Chain A
Amino acid sequence: MRTLRDRVGAAAPVFGVLLLLLVAIAVVNPNFLEPASLLAYLKRAAPLAILAVGQYFVIVSGEFDLSVGSLVTVQVVVAARLIDGDESATVPVIVLLIGLGLLVGLVNGLITTRLHVPSFVTTLGMLLVLSGAVFLWTGGAPRGSLSESFREPGRQGIDIPGFGQVPWSALILIAVAAGAAVLMRSAWGHTLVATGDNDRAAALAGVPVERVRTTAFVLSALAATVAAILLGGFAGVSAQVGEGLEFSAITAVVLGGVVLGGGRGSVLAALAGALVLEALFTLLNLLGVSGALESTVQGVIIIAAVAYAARRAGRRRRPPAVPEPSPQPA
């Protein structure tokens, strides 16, 4: 029988930290525990959390995706320009955005796995190409506007009797989280983690390593598409809407205890990492550190989290103090 400790495993700290932060927020602002307030918090956190889920797939497979921030910008700018306030264009444009996301993820994945370009370089190139394309297309200032129905998921909610309004983004986040958790329990999820841990061993065990990794990039780009739709509704149209999101997503994933280089960490912990970041911002806001030192705190925390993980790994790696008898050929 597995104990809870075993189940939660390496991810435990992030859930503990999240709980601690939420309690701290509630202490400073007791209203926070009201459903409306909690749901508003989830709504704010949803885009980053969804990006973190996408980024998790890529990172746990041993790669990076730096292109998600610029992809979000591209999706929002493209949507605004093509919809241009026209309600009837909403659905076709969303279909187009999903297609665009698929394409970007596929290109990232294929260049990385088939041409053996480090994913850092592949997705950095994609970032530069996408932001260049946005600039070329908009000349710096995005034009057009989103339709109301496009903005609905990002800003509206659904009325549930006796509970009040539940934001669509919170529901979407829950759906994404559930989907990701199920996916990671499927055969594909197991092969994804094995690929990130040791791709040679995985390939020799029959894992189609290139296909698995490419799929991870596609999922990341699709997550960016969903995040773009939410952000477009929530924050509106600008050429800076996705700026820096790739780093925030990676930060969230790493805070969740997922190791850069792959093979370790759970998707729900990565998602919790994003919730921790958002809770941290909320708390700092409440404490009046408004915006100012927010980044500094974030920077210190991410370094501390990774240093802590490195220390723990270092201690645990030690056990075989005595080498095994002649492991090498004589």
Chain B
Amino acid sequence: MTALAERVRWAPRLATGPAAGTWIALGLVVLLAAAIVTARGGDYLTQANLLNMLSRTTALGIVAVGQTIAILAGSLDLSVAYLIGLTSLIAAEVMAGDPAMIVPGVLAVLAASALVGLVNGLVITKLQVNAFIATLGVGLVIKGILESRYEGPAGSVPVLFQRLGYDRIGPIPVAVLLMLAVAGAAALFLHRTRAGHHVYAVGGNVEVARLSGVPTTRTTVLAHVICSLCAGVAGLYLASRLGAGAPYVGTDGGYDLESIAAVVLGGTVLAGGRGGVSGTVAGVLLLAVLDNLFDQLVLDAFFKASCAAP
């Protein structure tokens, strides 16, 4: 009865919330893309193409979910791209091809991510450094570590762990399920935990939150820890995809700014306090569809250009 009531009350919110516009836009863009590709004689809605888009979305999706929480708290995180590179290396180096080291590798990644999030949060709240500068600075610190210690890909992850990146359950890649799980957990956190409610309050109006007894510093720090943990999970996924750690896998993917773009596209307000994970997922998918369409067109143009040249 309660569950039903919940569902009934949730349905209209999904349809009217800030995320609705993004989902509708996503639908329209998919239709448009399908129309363009079909008109050019391609076949857009093939399972292969859809899955291709989905798995490319995974890493960005996981990062963007974390970014959503940081932004909802009135902050933002520019350090995620470097953190992804770092955690992919930590995973690959700790595992070093040994299946027995998978669990320690994952734990090491999560610990390192949590530490980075903690530093971000404390620099922002205790040193009162603007979040933009704080996370940019922390990102640069990580970048320096990457540059000084690695020239290129390093370490290796065991085949068992690579299955995270490549296996499917039925038609659906495991990694997509991982992303959905992260999104679901984040939604649960935001809507059903006190800390999640406090994230909205701190992002909405920090003074009102303080007067209402919300622990504002702790909330901001927690939001950053969660954001960094998500980046760490994305690093794990990318390590499993690549079979090794790569220092620039995060920056090459542009995960810092693109995750923020996805969050904003998803209807979450940059100033904080309004929005949610559902919109972000739609925002990520929207970017993926556009990217995919773009690629097909570029490929097309490139192909034509090469053909035209004698």
Complex contact flag A–B (Cβ < 8 Å): yes
Structural contact, B140 and A296, CB atoms closer than 8 A: yes
For A307, give the chain B residue with the smallest CB separation: B127
1/0 per position for A178-220, CB-CB distance to B under 8 A? 0000000000000000000000000000000000000000000
CB within 8 Å of B: which A256-279 residues: 260-261
Structural contact, A247 and B136, CB atoms closer than 8 A: yes
Q: Which among A66, A118, A260, A295 is the interface contact of B257 at CB below 8 angstroms?
A: A66
User: Which of B144, B297, B298, B302 has the largest count of A CB atoms less than 10 A from its CB?
Assistant: B144
Structural contact, B298 and A139, CB atoms closer than 8 A: yes
For B18, the chain A residues whose CB sits under 8 A away are none
1/0 per position for B73-107, CB-CB distance to A under 8 A? 00000100000000000000000000000000000
For B134, give the chain A residue with the smallest CB separation: A303
Beyond A66-B257, A118-B271, whether A295 also contacts B138 by CB under 8 A is no
The segment from B61-69, B199-207, B258-266 that touches chain A is: B258-266
Q: What's the least CB distance linking A151 to chain B, in Å?
A: 27
Given A139-B302, A254-B133, 12 additional A-B pairs, CB 8 A? A121-B270, A136-B294, A247-B78, A251-B136, A260-B130, A260-B132, A296-B141, A299-B136, A299-B137, A302-B136, A303-B133, A310-B129
* Chain B contact residues: helix, strand, loop or mixed: helix
For B140, the chain A residues whose CB sits under 8 A away are 295-296, 298-299, 302
Structural contact, A307 and B129, CB atoms closer than 8 A: yes
Asked whether any CB of chain B lies closer than 8 Å to the CB of A125, the reply is: yes
Asked whether any CB of chain B lies closer than 8 Å to the CB of A291, the reply is: yes
Q: How far does the alpha carbon of A250 sit from the alpha carbon of B264 in the complex, in Å?
A: 21
Structural contact, B294 and A303, CB atoms closer than 8 A: no
Structural contact, B147 and A292, CB atoms closer than 8 A: yes
Asked whether any CB of chain B lies closer than 8 Å to the CB of A293, the reply is: yes
For B129, give the chain A residue with the smallest CB separation: A306
Structural contact, B133 and A295, CB atoms closer than 8 A: no
For A128, give the chain B residue with the smallest CB separation: B261
Structural contact, B127 and A310, CB atoms closer than 8 A: yes
Q: How far does the alpha carbon of A136 sit from the alpha carbon of B148 in the complex, in Å?
A: 33
Interface size on B, residues (CB 8 A): 33
Q: Which among A124, A260, A300, A307 is the interface contact of B128 at CB below 8 angstroms?
A: A307
A interface residues (Cβ-Cβ under 8 A, vs B): 64, 66, 118, 120-121, 124-125, 127-128, 132, 135-136, 139, 247, 250-251, 254, 260-261, 291-300, 302-303, 306-307, 310-311, 314
For A121, give the chain B residue with the smallest CB separation: B264
* Chain A contact residues: helix, strand, loop or mixed: helix
Asked whether any CB of chain A lies closer than 8 Å to the CB of B123, the reply is: yes
Q: What's the least CB distance linking B149 to chain A, in Å?
A: 8
1/0 per position for B137-171, CB-CB distance to A under 8 A? 11111111101100000000000000000000000
For B298, the chain A residues whose CB sits under 8 A away are 135-136, 139
Q: How far does the alpha carbon of A235 sit from the alpha carbon of B294 in the complex, in Å?
A: 29
Structural contact, A300 and B137, CB atoms closer than 8 A: yes
CB within 8 Å of A: which B177-195 residues: none
Structural contact, B141 and A299, CB atoms closer than 8 A: yes
For A132, give the chain B residue with the smallest CB separation: B294
For A296, give the chain B residue with the smallest CB separation: B144
Structural contact, A296 and B133, CB atoms closer than 8 A: no
Structural contact, A306 and B261, CB atoms closer than 8 A: no
Q: How far does the alpha carbon of A98 sit from the alpha carbon of B78 in the complex, in Å?
A: 31
For B78, the chain A residues whose CB sits under 8 A away are 247
Q: How far does the alpha carbon of A300 sit from the alpha carbon of B127 in the complex, in Å?
A: 13
Q: How far does the alpha carbon of A296 sit from the alpha carbon of B136 in the complex, in Å?
A: 11
Q: How far does the alpha carbon of A247 sit from the alpha carbon of B81 in the complex, in Å?
A: 14
Beyond A260-B133, A314-B128, whether A291 also contacts B260 by CB under 8 A is no
Provide a sorted-by-A list of 13 A–B residue pairs whose CB atoms are within 8 angstroms. Answer: A121-B270, A124-B257, A124-B260, A136-B298, A136-B301, A254-B133, A261-B130, A293-B148, A295-B140, A296-B140, A306-B133, A307-B127, A314-B128
Structural contact, B144 and A297, CB atoms closer than 8 A: yes
For B147, give the chain A residue with the smallest CB separation: A292
Q: How far does the alpha carbon of A314 sit from the alpha carbon of B127 in the complex, in Å?
A: 11
For A135, the chain B residues whose CB sits under 8 A away are 294, 298
Q: How far does the alpha carbon of A311 sit from the alpha carbon of B126 in the complex, in Å?
A: 10
For B137, the chain A residues whose CB sits under 8 A away are 299-300, 302-303, 306
For B136, the chain A residues whose CB sits under 8 A away are 247, 250-251, 299, 302
For A303, the chain B residues whose CB sits under 8 A away are 123, 127, 129, 133-134, 137-138
Structural contact, B261 and A124, CB atoms closer than 8 A: yes
